[in-house]
Amino acid sequence: MERFEYANPTTVKDATELLGATWADAQVLAGGTDLISLMKDYVVSPKRVVNIKGIAELGKITPGTAGTQIGATVSLDDLTSNRAVRAAYPSLVTAALGITSPQIRNMGTVGGDLCQRPRCWYFRQGYGLLAMKDGKSLVPNGENLYHAIFGGGPAYFVSPSSLGPALIALGAQIKISSPTATRTVGADKFFVNPQSADMREVDLKPNEIVTAIVIPPGVTKNATYEVRQKEALDWPLATASVALKMTGTKIASARVVLGHVAPTPWVAAGAEKWLAGKSIDEATAEAAGAAAVEGAKPLSQNEYKVQLAKVAVKRALLAAAGKAV
Amino acid sequence: MPNYSWPPMDKRRIMGQRISRLDGPVKASGRAKYNSDLNPQGLLHATLLTCPHAHAKIKSIDTKPAEQMKGVAAVRVISKEGTEIQWAGTEVVAIAAETEAIAIDAARAIKVEYEILPHLVHEHDLAAAGTRARASGETIEGDPDKAFADAEVTSEGEYGIPVITHCCLEPHGSIVQWSGDKVEAWPSTQNVSGFPGSLAQPLSIPATQIHVHMDYMGGGFGSKFTADRWDVEAAQLSKAAGGRPVKMFLDRATELTIAGVRPSAYAKIKTAAKKDGTFTGWQSQTWASGGFAGGGGLNATLFPYVYTKVPNKRINHTAVSINAGTQRAWRAPAHPQISFLCCSALEDLAAKLEMSSLDFFLKNADLTIRPDVYRAQLTKAAEMIEWQKNWHQRGDKTAGPIKRGLGIGVNTWGGLGHASACRTTINADGSVAVDLGTQDLGTATRTMVAMVAAETFGLGIGQIKIGLGDSRFPVSGASGGSTTIGGVTVSTRKAAVNALGKIFDLLAPIMNVPADQLEAVDGRIQQKGNPSKSMTWLQACAKLGTQTISETGENVPRDAPKEGLINQGASGVQMADVSVDIETGVVKINRIVAVQDCGLVVNPKTAESQVFGACIMSCCAALTEERVMDQTLGRVMNADMEFYKLAGIADIGEILVHMDITPEHDKKGIIGLGEPPAIGGVAAIANAVANAIGVRVPMVPLTPKRVLGALSNRRMA
Amino acid sequence: MNPKDEGKKKRRSAFSRRGFLQGFGAGTGVLATGVLAPEQAEAAPATPVQGPGEVAITLTINGKPQNVKVEPRATLCDTLRTALDVTGAKRVCDRGTCGACTVIVDKKVVYGCTVLAIDAAGKRIETIEGLAVAPKLHPVSKAFWDNDAQQCGYCTPGFVMAAKGFLDRNPNPTLEQVKKGLGGNLCRCGTYVGIRKAVLQAAKEMQGGRNA
């Protein structure tokens, strides 16, 4: 890790002012579960690290009529222990508990989960988000076992966020502050599929921080299903989060979002459309899964992820409907 | 000659008991100091600059930027200009500095120019290996062509098991201090007595000037037998820095890249049988890579695994050289791979015969090297895994996505004790020291040495002071190949019996009992069978006055079996019960059973731990563990513990261990146990998956990708 | 509570960028991007910037405050092991995966390799050395010994601390909960069977202790 200077501000204003005009100037430290490793591997070498855990207002979960606000530095453990969150957003809780290391859940934060960098091993070895070497992506003919099946390139990493798919399905908004302004962006717009090497995979500027996530009320049923090989700490191979607005036993509208299959959480619009007006049973869920993976373009080693995404959608829907998976 | 034989099974007070390991308290409280924990006065921290290319020639090296950095104490070029490097991770420069951070900063400041050369890092596609593949000859027994022509049933398959790494949790490395003409070394090694010898040559100093210390070590599994380049460099850096101690332990990525791998193994196998299940013919074409040297070590004499007496066989092997870190011994070198390849092919043959693989393995037991042992073990394991209740023909036909299956894997190993010498000292105050230049890798060597000594002296194990992990102690062999337990128990037993003989000689005139009529039991020396004529251990030792007894004992491997104390030839059977989700390809282990023979079991508690551990390592290799290399970059992509996946506490199912502890096994003597149970588990799990889902997954680890791939190939067929 | 930092005394008044200038020196070329717009310079934050050189901090380890100088980049694990010679926590994966460096900070189990020492200043740090005074054993350590839940032992301190942290929150766990609760630690020798038993035994003994 390169040397850096360190600041521990107590206000959002201070924190954003300590950030820089470029990513190389400063990085935000919250849980540290990703940043410290990125720095050890020289993937990022900021000149300054700004710890935002000292900002009290970012550490709170605030229920309200306009929805539940979750501060950016709320730990994953606090998130999953919160009674209101557990009752209303099982999809979020399942996703957070899918990180099967208590240590990570204690350290890792909600904001950090959204802003963590991809685990793509080409990225981690210094080849950038597009994994380019000599003008060519290393991924399509390389070791792409864990890479994207959606998105169409030129980036093939998968978004590592556990909470992202659930938050998009729940219609969450993300609050962002810079030294001079605050703004709110839909969770579905927050994640970006970079089209060039200088783009970032999230909609954040170097001097901005995520301050909170707001989940609107109104979703009745939601669930997440993650396919992972190990029960101990391991990255999922594919996940699906669903949120359903119901009219009686019928789905009025559905959100179906896949995780770990594209450079962003991947909204399965085909499945959403197909589900409208249906009631959930095994056959509907199965068909929704099939609709969700239409148009997938697997790489040389990851065709299996199409099947996993399909099953994840089916099982998430059945779980949302309270049916045994 | 004194009688060294083990006390009869029913007379042993300590050996054979379930004794908790002596170093458990220090390990479980964090008080055990591993060499990587030490912070001696004046310590410098060292690191390596390694080559990022799989094949390259060094054009130039500029170390000045590092040398000029504040806090840098010494910089040494390991691979000089002009060196042709054959795998990524090769050591290029070593740096010692006041802190580890400075050393790493300095390494990054060094500029190396390379001429990049073409490389090959994959061996699974033999056709693509070209001139890098070297056939190592054909072995034929009987008439395999006729056997296949006459066969009533034949089976064919392809199987593969990739390179895995040792991934020792304590990385390779050492602290070394070279001051004046003396070298003090604190390495993490499986070979305390041999370490000075392997360090002496590269340092050009006599081994007698090198002193090695190691109380605890954090895992070796076959990869830590000699002083490595980094140990040598630690010494050189120490010398260059004026004799300050230098600490050089590999970072995790380097550890996983260059500190040893287990070779891969791939095979095309054909088998033949009669309709009644009699196994008649075997043909295998295998290939493997253990790195640049090719290797792989798939010894033809081990094929087909334990069923080597099949009358007709043809065996070919090809070694493939790749530009990757080199192989080192890995718990039972070559055996887990061969067991997996062969047991998979035999299970497939049994399925083709529509026969239970248990019946097939039993029916052909006479073709194995130890028919009676395997028959008994297969039967016992089948009972433990509830084979009769749970076995079905290939392909679980029950409804739903979860399919359950059973599978078998077998093992064999030598495990004869290595050369070992021990010194036992008895002092007039009654204290007893047992010293030998061995090491405890976590196998409970320390505990078992104490048990043997305590048994011999009639004392409690707490009364014996064990000294090991010091190269000044009498020489013991490297801890590899399951040779330690046999070696150290014999040398300890002999040294203790010899020392006790001296005590008896001293006491005979005093107690007025002939020396050969004395015995040591329950903290007393007494006339055999007559406690009324006795004195306490303390009283007895007090008679030494100003003397000290110091006796040695030795295990000489070539004589050992004749003496009956130790033996070779362990057998075992593993069975697995798995559930496979055929929609996701995720395999869950329900249960693994292991039935294991290792002759006389010194400590059933720690012996079982060895078997549990071996089964768990098998779970990792069967389900998750695999080195991934990228052909374009020529580098290991998962040189970390995130994508180099080891099973966690929830991933291993229930494990049941049955040690064959009977008078019959006991009389064989002590046989090493480290390797054998680490052999059969992968085959058992892979076979259970085939039994569950109805189709062979040709390659392990059995990832969702591979399981789904096998299922979808079947659907297409 | 907070780091005893010399930098804190000389609270910076002008540029928030000054730290960059101090730390990295002019003329290195890296600062071009760090030049401030004038309005940002007006609104200088009140927060001090520390480092990149050594900063004096106080770590409260097992109840005892200890002063140590660290660069901000130093991890808690390395600082414990090297600067303070508190070596129970081991450095293995060094990337927040294997749990060998597990310590408890403010009552929560964390990976010491992935916490900056400077960030742990002022917090309550519990390491395995604080569980019991030799030769005594904490019930968790004792249970690991009794159940032979260690072989080489290098993962053991991390597992013991993870188990301690787990039991503090789940004093009466089921086997299934134990398996889930220790998902953040890895062992290479394969001691999980013993660890499962050990944690269940420790739960019983610690409960017994409390009720006694």
Predicted confidence band of residue C208 (pLDDT cuts 50, 70, 90)? low
Q: Rounded to whole angstroms, how far apart are CA atoms A102 and B104?
A: 31
List pLDDT tens digits, range A43-100. 999 999 999 999 999 999 999 888 999 999 999 999 999 999 999 999 999 999 999 9
Task: Give the closest of A1, A17, A101 to C45, CB-based.
Answer: A17
Distance (Å, rounded) from C-alpha B591 to C-alpha B565?
35
Q: How far apart are CA A306 and CA A241, in angstroms?
A: 16
Question: Is the CB of residue B216 less than 8 Å from the CB of residue B27?
Answer: yes
Q: What separation in angstroms does the CA of A241 have from each of A61, A166, A314, B79?
A: 22, 5, 10, 53
Q: Any CB–CB contact under 8 A between B716 and chain A?
A: no
Among C89, C92, C179, select the one facing B650 at the smallest CB separation.
Answer: C179
pLDDT value of position C13:
34
Fill in the DSSP letter of residue A129.
Answer: T
Q: Which amino acid is at B50?
A: T
B10-31 confidence digits (pLDDT tens)? 999 999 999 999 999 999 999 9
Half-sphere exposure of A311 (CA within 13 A, CB side): 20
Spatial contact of C119 and A51, defined as CB atoms under 8 Å apart: yes
- Looking at every residue in chain C, the average pLDDT score rounds to 84
Mean pLDDT by 10 residues, chain B (717 residues): 94 97 98 98 98 98 98 98 98 98 98 98 94 94 98 98 98 97 98 98 97 98 98 98 98 98 98 98 97 89 96 97 96 97 98 98 97 97 98 97 98 96 98 98 98 98 97 97 96 98 97 97 96 96 97 94 91 98 98 96 98 98 98 98 98 97 94 96 98 98 98 76
Residue C182 has, within 13 A of its CA and on its CB side, a CA count of: 35
Tokens 């070895």 belong to: A125
CA-CA distance, B220 to B35, in Å (whole number)? 14
Asked if residue C210 has pLDDT above 80, the reply is: no
Radius of gyration of chain B (CA): 28
Q: Is C132 on the interface with B (CB under 8 A)?
A: yes
Q: Is the pLDDT of residue C135 over 60?
A: yes
Query: What does the pLDDT read at residue A54?
Result: 97
Chain centre to alpha carbon of residue B651: 22
Answer yes or no: do C180 and B650 touch at CB < 8 A.
yes
State the average pLDDT over residues C200-210: 84
Nearest-neighbour CA in chain B from A228: distance (Å): 8
The residues with which C41 forms a beta bridge, in sequence order, are: none
A102/C183 touch (CB, cutoff 8 Å), yes or no: yes
Tokens of A84: 């209101």
**A101 contact C CB<8A:** yes
pLDDT of C26 reads 35
Judged by CB atoms closer than 8 Å, whether chains meet at B30 and C193 is answered as: no
Query: What's at B459, amino acid-wise?
Result: L
With contacts defined as CB-CB under 8 Å, which chain A residues touch B623? 229
Of A3, A119, A227, the CB nearest to B586: A227
Q: What six digits make up the tokens of B185?
A: 């070394």
Q: Are A192 and A200 contacting, i.e. CB atoms less than 8 angstroms apart?
A: yes
Orientation of helix B681-693 relative to helix B604-623, angle to 10°: 50
Closest CA to B1 of B669, B498, B506, B418: B498
Q: Is A103 on the interface with B (CB under 8 A)?
A: no
Å between A195 CA and nearest CA of chain B:
23
Give the whole-number percent of chain A exceeding pLDDT 90: 97
CA angle A248, A251, A253 (to 5 degrees): 130
Rounded to whole angstroms, how far apart are CA atoms A62 and C71?
36
pLDDT score of C10: 41
Q: Is C93 on the interface with B (CB under 8 A)?
A: yes
DSSP state, residue B367: G
Mean pLDDT across chain A, nearest whole number?
A: 97
CB < 8 Å from C in window 429-458 of B: 441-444
Task: Give pTM, 2 decimals.
Answer: 0.96
Residue A231 touches chain C, beta carbons under 8 Å: yes
Contacts 24+ apart (CB under 8 A), C171-174: C171/C203, C171/C206, C171/C207, C172/C203, C172/C207, C173/C199, C173/C200, C173/C203
Set of chain C residues whose Cβ sits within 8 Å of the Cβ of A40: 94-95
Which residue reads 């009794």 in tokens?
Answer: C146
Interface touch A142/B651, C-beta < 8 Å: no
Q: C198: closest CA among C131, C141, C134, C132?
A: C141
- Enumerate the residues of chain A whose CB falls inside 8 A of the CB of residue B624: 229-230
pLDDT tens for B416-435 read: 999 999 999 999 999 999 99
Q: Which residues are B497's β-sheet partners?
A: none
If pLDDT is split at 50, 70 and 90, which confidence band does C6 have? very low
Q: Which of A304, A306, A314, A318 to mutate to test the interface with B (most CBs of B within 10 A)?
A: A304
CA distance B230 to B46: 9
SS (HEC) of B458-527 = CCCHHHEEEECCECCCCEECCCCCCCHHHHHHHHHHHHHHHHHHHHHHHHHHHHCCCHHHEEEECCEEEE
Partner-chain contact B583 A229, CB within 8 Å: no
Beta bridge partners of B112: B61
B24 vs C contacts (CB less than 8 Å): 144-145, 148, 150
Q: Chain A residue with minimal CA distance to B644?
A: A234
Q: Do A232 and B637 touch (CB under 8 A)?
A: no
Q: Give the burial class of A55: count Cβ atoms within 10 A of its Cβ; 0-12 exposed, 13-18 middle, 19 or more buried.
A: buried
Beta bridge partners of B160: B266, B699
Report the candidate in C12, C87, A156 with the shortest Cα–Cα distance to residue B27: C87
Chain A touched by B708 (CB under 8 Å): yes
The reply to whether residue B31 touches residue C193, judged by beta carbons under 8 angstroms, is no
Distance from C-alpha of A323 to C-alpha of A316, rounded to nearest angstrom: 10
Q: What is the pLDDT of residues A168-222, one digit of tens each?
A: 999 999 999 999 999 999 999 999 999 999 999 999 999 999 999 999 987 789 9
- Residue C209 has a pLDDT of 55
Looking at the complex, does the CB of residue B128 fall below 8 Å from at least one CB of chain A? no
Contact predicate A170/A217, CB 8 Å: no
pLDDT for residue B296: 83
Query: What token pair was written down for B548?
Result: 């000290």
DSSP state of B270: E
From the list B672, B661, B610, B611, the residue with the least C-alpha distance to B21 is B610
Q: Which residues contact B665 (CB under 8 A, 6 or more apart)?
A: B597, B599, B600
Q: Which amino acid is present at B649? A: I
- pLDDT over threshold 50, residue C33: no
At B341 the three-state DSSP class reads helix
Q: How many Å apart are CA B409 and CA B679, to the nearest integer?
A: 8
Taking residues A21-28, what's their average pLDDT?
96
CA A308 – CA A312 distance, rounded (Å) = 6
Q: Which one, of A167, A169, A148, lies nearest residue A159 by Cα?
A: A148
CA atoms within 13 A on the CB side of C104: 23
- The upper half-sphere exposure of residue A227, i.e. CA atoms within 13 Å in the direction of its Cβ, equals 31
Asked if A304 and B632 come within 8 Å (Cβ–Cβ), the reply is no
ipTM of the complex: 0.97
Distance from CA of C97 to the nearest CA of A (A): 7
pLDDT tens digit sequence for C91-107: 999 999 999 999 999 99
pLDDT the model gives residue B717: 53
State how far the Cα of B450 lies from the Cα of B606, in Å rounded to an integer: 14
Write down the pLDDT at residue B1: 81
Shortest Cα distance, chain B CAs vs residue A276, angstroms: 25
| List of residues 6+ apart from B89 with CB closer than 8 A | B50, B51, B254, B257, B258, B325, B635, B636
What integer pLDDT is reported at residue A325 of this predicted model?
65
Query: Are B259 and B250 a contacting pair, CB within 8 Å?
Result: yes
Q: What is the reported pLDDT for B716?
A: 58
